[in-house]
A and B are shown apart, each in its own frame.
Chain A
Amino acid sequence: MSRNLLIRLGSTMVTLFGVALIVFILVRVVPGNPIAMMLPPGASDADIALLTAHYGLDKPIMTQFWIWLGRALQGDFGTSISLRQDVMSLIFGRLPATLELATLALLIAMALGGALAITAARFRGTAVETGIDLANGASLAMPDFLWGLTFILLFGVLIPVFAISGRVSPTLDLPFVTGFYLIESILRLRVDIFLDLMRHMLMPALALALPLAAVIAQLLKTSLKEAMQQDYVMLARTKGFSETRVLISEALRNAVIPTLTLAGVQFTFLIGGTVIVERLFSYEGLGNMAIDAVINRDLPLIQGIVLVFALIFVIINLIVDLSYALLNPRLRHG
């Protein structure tokens, strides 16, 4: 186990290193002097030389990479060209919004997918299962981009119950100290702010959640149906437990492992999806900022955001692998 863990951690490091190298090369390939772009127009040659030396850009390319990597590891990604602020503080300003949206979407997907799978497995072979299968197929066929647009039309325009842009109403006075508005509104028992946040977040979260919910529902249903034919389930049945109880207390525990692994991998797709869904709902998250950064050719900001996204992806994959090893007794001593 500990040996596997070390190997896994090592390969994660290699992946991250590769990502950093690619991002570095991508940005070098782009024409233009990044230092000149970082400084306000009219900066003196001395200023340019100073900053060039600060970022080590007067040194050979491989040395440059190591200097850049060292600074990146300390969280120094330079200054945003378009916003003229420290890249890292810009990213930390937006990251909570994206994390809250993605987590909310994940929770919705797990609850919805789980409920659908259990219902379909409970009524397997009936019209209920067929109906759930069809609904799954439909929500899988539609990408988050189109789900988002559909929700905007349905619940933003046709029956206007939700807000179609932003994260929170600008008129609200927020007493918060962190960027995690949703969590803080719960902790501070501010129901008014919580409801306003949900009015903004529910549609983008649902758009992100639906494709994942369908994947979870399909996979969990298959595992549940398999588990229901195992000996221990038969045993529980002969004890006179009801079908629903057998399903939830016996089969679910064993069926959940393969689903969890896949849900973790799919969660990275969901996080990737936040980029366009945030854009669609004008939600002030990292993804929306990334698109602006690309449009403005704000290289330092782009570098920082791509690396942070890659870091999140790699961490999720690592957690999934580790939890799989922990949850699966057969692999524990592998």
Chain B
Amino acid sequence: MAEARVIRVKAGPRLWLSGLWLTFFALAAIFAPLIVPHDPLAQDLMLGKLPPAWVTGHEPGYLLGTDSLGRDVLSRLISAARPALFVAIGAGLAACLLGSVLGLLAGFFGGWTDRIISRIVDIWMAFPPVLLSILLVAFLNPSLQSVIIAIAIIDWTRFCRVVRAETMQQRRMDYVESARAMGLTSIATLAREVLPNVLPAIIVLLSLEMGIAVIVEAILSYVNLSVSTDQATWGSMIAEGRGIIYQAWWVLVFPMIALFLTVLAFSQFGEGLKERFDPVLR
């Protein structure tokens, strides 16, 4: 019991801090057009590669400096939160839905249903994920929707494997037997009795998946396979910064920090939730 209490105390600030950053991130994404100091696409070659405000040679009004085309880094950073949030939610939910449904079915019905679904998962795991996502997006034509579809098609297995194992465990519980004895159909038992007990695990995975989705979107836009160039993304900013790394480090560093904090916050939020849910999970 004492140990459980220690965990609960540790889970507090972890959830709190990561939740705070995620709220900040979501607000920035939602209100991006209202709060950006400059047009994130406005080019001014006279103001190219300006350093951030605390470095000599800066210009007032450009807090985090400008890139090689004179676009304001801070404005681009904020407006890039939008596609990141969009992909996190869209891809996270899509992968979650697909994987959880298949996992529930495989775990609950067992037999051939389970064998077929598990075999598909095995085959899926034999593809290198980054390569497969690049492949899918290229074939679907680069866009945010394609990125979301690709991530969902690749990452549903993460949900499927965990939900299947959890469901198998729940199926053996007494309450499932009694629900059946009361005359509930399989689907009703699954939805009303099993799902609520598997839900905590799903929510934890969803938070982790959103972090993964943000990283994958950044990787795809790094290789120029995400949104078109008239929308700033952290990945495309990083790619630009990598190219002019010796002249303007700030173009690379700030989107890296934003990306890192967001990914860290999603994973820590998930871990924090896991610790919160732990008695339920066990």
Listed in ascending order, the chain A residues whose CB lies under 8 Å from chain B are: 11, 14-16, 18-19, 22, 26, 29-30, 141-143, 145-146, 149-150, 152-153, 156-157, 164, 268, 271-273, 275-276, 279-280, 287, 290-291, 294-295, 297, 302, 305-306, 309-310, 313-314, 317
Contact = CB atoms under 8 A, between A and B. Distances in A.
25 contacts: A15-B119, A16-B126, A18-B126, A19-B126, A22-B123, A29-B139, A141-B263, A142-B260, A143-B215, A149-B238, A150-B256, A153-B252, A153-B256, A275-B130, A276-B222, A287-B130, A287-B131, A290-B131, A290-B134, A291-B134, A294-B138, A295-B223, A306-B135, A313-B125, A313-B127
Contacts, number: 109
B129 interface: yes
A26 B135 contact: yes
Interface in B208-222: 215, 218-219, 222
Contacts of B123: 15, 18-19, 22
B9 to A, nearest CB: 15
Given A14-B119, A18-B119, A153-B253, A302 B135 contact: yes
B259 interface: yes
Contact of A310 (B120, B126, B130, B219): B126
B122 interface: yes
A314 B134 contact: no
Contact of A157 (B119, B245, B268): B245
Nearest to B245: A157
Interface string B120-156: 1011011111111011001100000000000000000
Contacts of A290: 131, 134
Given A15-B122, A149-B238, A275 B131 contact: yes
A314 B130 contact: no
B129 A272 contact: yes
Contact of B127 (A280, A297, A309): A309
Contact of B264 (A14, A30, A141, A294): A141
A16 B215 CA distance: 28
Question: 3 shortest A-B CB distances, which residue pairs?
Answer: A18-B123, A272-B128, A294-B138
Nearest to B122: A15
A309 B131 CA distance: 9
Given A14-B119, A290-B134, A145 B219 contact: yes
B252 A145 contact: no
Contact of B256 (A16, A146, A294, A297): A146
A220 to B, nearest CB: 20
A208 to B, nearest CB: 12
B21 interface: no
B277 interface: no
